[in-house]
Amino acid sequence: MDRRPLFKPVHPVYEVTEGIIRMGEAPGFTVEMEDENGSIRKMVKLMDGTRNVGQIHNLLLVDYPELTYEEIMEAVEALSGLGFLMDQAKEEASGLTLEQKERYKANIRYFSLFTNIDQSPSRLQEQLSGKKVTILGMGAFGSTLLVNLVGVGIQHIKLVDFDRVELSNLNRQIVFNENDIGRLKVEAAREFIARLHSEVLIETETLQIKSSDDVERVVAGSDFVVLAADQPFFILQRWVNRACTNLQIPYIAGGFNLIEGQFFLVEPGKTGCIDCMHLHRYRQLEDYPQLIENLLITNFVPPTATIAPNIMMITGMMASDAVRYLTGIAPVQSAGKLILFDFNTLEKKVFFEWERNENECPTCGMGSGTEPIFQIMRKEMYVE
Ligand SMILES: [Zn+2]
């Protein structure tokens, strides 16, 4: 396919001082260069996505007869390397419908910030549209992530929850309204999405997860899983981890503890899994199993104490990382890392990272699972 270079419309080009031009204005996207005879500005103007390199060269020859085709090719590679070019031919060849191109216009421009001329932002959008994501839990986290994921272009989503909408949810769970009170959350959320984006396929399942087998059944066939529920504490995460590891499905999990939000992403076979994390913590803190056990014995489920903005911030970060993971546009921030976000200081930090422990992990490795931390789950009293 003949490339038709397009100077990315998100970046301006202008003369700063006599003979010096600047491309781009945003931090990290700004370059200045000499352009004494104006040939670069002219070339950039011709790179509007309607011409191939040969045509651009021919038109430049009118004013700059000394320019060779090879020099133009070099300039294309250089501008592409600096992140300023995309290929309009590739954009037009993407499988997106006209409706999708319009709806996702700003997404595609955003993706274009990260691509070179050989990668297509529209293709990244198409990739997202083809993914299936399962969200476990339709509370504040799940419902807000749902909206974010539909916004970025995921078009097949499965919602799993057993709860009904209550008036006290409406301070932060914005997909629900007063008419939904008493209805199943998965049903109300499905209706909300139908009005937001009628082409999104929403599957629902009314289920309280009670085992790893439950999780395997509901997430099978998904490309990505969002764990947006936290009860039973400790155990639910391990069920989801086991199921996603068995099925090799990546997942992101998040929660909050009063003034702190936290999340992490697990990619089976690459990052450490949650049991690798428990082993890591156990090696660091001798009384770690006791700590977890105490929390389970008291079975203290704190009453929800949060405001909508805090939920939006932490779920926004999670969805943003999910986009990085699913498109590859930039490094995933939470892969094998526990990210903490302080809602008061607005500071983010990596609380700790952990590696995959192939030898000792009982779930993603060859470990026996005899460590005390893995015995906790076996006690019937904690499992409903
Ligand atoms: Zn593991």
pLDDT tens by residue, 162-212? 999 999 999 999 999 999 999 999 999 999 999 999 999 999 999 999 999
CA of 349 to the centre of ligand 1 (A): 23
User: Which helix or strand (DSSP H or E) is residue 236 part of?
Assistant: helix 235-247
User: With a threshold of 0.75, does the pTM exceed it?
Assistant: yes
The verdict on 278 and 157 lying in the same domain is yes
Phi, psi of 333 (to 5 degrees): -80, -25
CA of 274 to the centre of ligand 1 (A): 6
The tokens describing 125, both together, are 């959008």
The verdict on 66 and 191 lying in the same domain is no
The verdict on 81 and 203 lying in the same domain is no
In this prediction, residue 179 carries a pLDDT of 98
In this prediction, residue 384 carries a pLDDT of 45
The verdict on 363 and 238 lying in the same domain is yes
CA of 296 to the centre of ligand 1 (A): 22
CA of 278 to the centre of ligand 1 (A): 9
Q: 50, 77, 95: which is the final residue of a domain?
A: 95
In sequence order, which residues have a C-beta less than 8 Å from that of residue 94 and are 6 or more positions away?
120, 122, 123, 125, 126
Strands of the 260-266 sheet, one edge to the other: 201-206, 156-161, 132-136, 224-227, 251-257, 260-266, 337-342, 347-353
The verdict on 276 and 337 lying in the same domain is yes
Residue 378 confidence (pLDDT) above 80:
no
How many other CB atoms are found less than 10 A from the CB of residue 27?
Answer: 6
Pair 294, 123: CB distance under 8 Å:
no
Return the closest-CA partner of residue 332 out of 344, 348, 320: 320
Please tell me what DSSP assigns to residue 319: H
CA of 160 to the centre of ligand 1 (A): 25
Q: 95, 122, 146: which is the final residue of a domain?
A: 95
CA of 35 to the centre of ligand 1 (A): 55
Is 241 contained in some domain?
Answer: yes
Is 117 contained in some domain?
Answer: no
CA of 2 to the centre of ligand 1 (A): 46
Question: Which residues surround the ion ligand 1 when the cut-off is CB under 5 Å?
Answer: 273, 275-276, 361, 363-364
In this prediction, residue 257 carries a pLDDT of 87
The verdict on 74 and 148 lying in the same domain is no
Q: 76, 95, 114: which is the final residue of a domain?
A: 95
Side chain identity, residue 126: E
CA of 37 to the centre of ligand 1 (A): 60
Q: Distance (Å, rounded) from C-alpha 333 to C-alpha 347?
A: 14
Residue 240 confidence (pLDDT) above 60:
yes
- What total of structural domains would you count in the chain? 2
CA of 364 to the centre of ligand 1 (A): 4
pLDDT bracket for residue 62 (50, 70, 90)? very high
Residue 267 confidence (pLDDT) above 80:
yes
Helices (H) and strands (E) in the chain, counts: 15, 13
Average pLDDT of span 333-352: 97
pLDDT bracket for residue 48 (50, 70, 90)? very high
Return the closest-CA partner of residue 273 out of 302, 237, 308: 237
Is 114 contained in some domain?
Answer: no
The verdict on 85 and 171 lying in the same domain is no
Q: How many CA atoms lie within 13 A of 130 on its CB side?
A: 11
Q: Is the dihedral of CA 66, 68, 74, 77 positive or negative?
A: positive
User: Which helix or strand (DSSP H or E) is residue 14 part of?
Assistant: strand 13-17
Residue 380 confidence (pLDDT) above 70:
no
Side chain identity, residue 150: V
Residue 262 confidence (pLDDT) above 60:
yes
- DSSP-based three-state secondary structure for 313: helix
CA of 248 to the centre of ligand 1 (A): 12
Side chain identity, residue 35: D
In this prediction, residue 377 carries a pLDDT of 66
The verdict on 156 and 74 lying in the same domain is no
Q: Any idea which residue has 């302080």 for tokens?
A: 342
CA of 245 to the centre of ligand 1 (A): 8
E strands along 47-186, which residues? 85-87, 132-136, 156-161
Pair 170, 157: CB distance under 8 Å:
no
CATH of residue 160's domain is 3.40.50.720
Is 106 contained in some domain?
Answer: no
77-to-70, 72, 73, 86, 282 alpha-carbon distances in Å: 11, 9, 6, 11, 51
In this prediction, residue 379 carries a pLDDT of 56
The verdict on 72 and 143 lying in the same domain is no
Average pLDDT of span 226-231: 93
CATH of residue 68's domain is 3.90.930.70
The verdict on 377 and 291 lying in the same domain is yes
Is 104 contained in some domain?
Answer: no
**Mean pLDDT over all residues of the chain?**
95
- DSSP-based three-state secondary structure for 239: helix
Q: Distance (Å, rounded) from C-alpha 127 to C-alpha 117?
A: 17
User: How far from the centroid of its chain's Cα atoms is residue 305's Cα?
Assistant: 26
Average pLDDT of span 249-261: 95
Is 47 contained in some domain?
Answer: yes
CA of 314 to the centre of ligand 1 (A): 25
Is 101 contained in some domain?
Answer: no
The verdict on 144 and 269 lying in the same domain is yes
User: Which helix or strand (DSSP H or E) is residue 17 part of?
Assistant: strand 13-17
Q: Distance (Å, rounded) from C-alpha 246 to C-alpha 268?
A: 8
**Who wins on pLDDT, 379 or 229?**
229
User: What is the domain range of residue 336?
Assistant: 130-382
Residue 381: burial class (beta carbons within 10 Å; 0-12, 13-18, 19+): exposed
Average pLDDT of span 372-379: 77
The verdict on 40 and 185 lying in the same domain is no
CA of 352 to the centre of ligand 1 (A): 16
The tokens describing 122, both together, are 């529209």
CA of 338 to the centre of ligand 1 (A): 15
CA of 216 to the centre of ligand 1 (A): 17
Q: Cα-atom radius of gyration of the chain, to the nearest Å?
A: 25
Is 115 contained in some domain?
Answer: no
CA of 279 to the centre of ligand 1 (A): 9
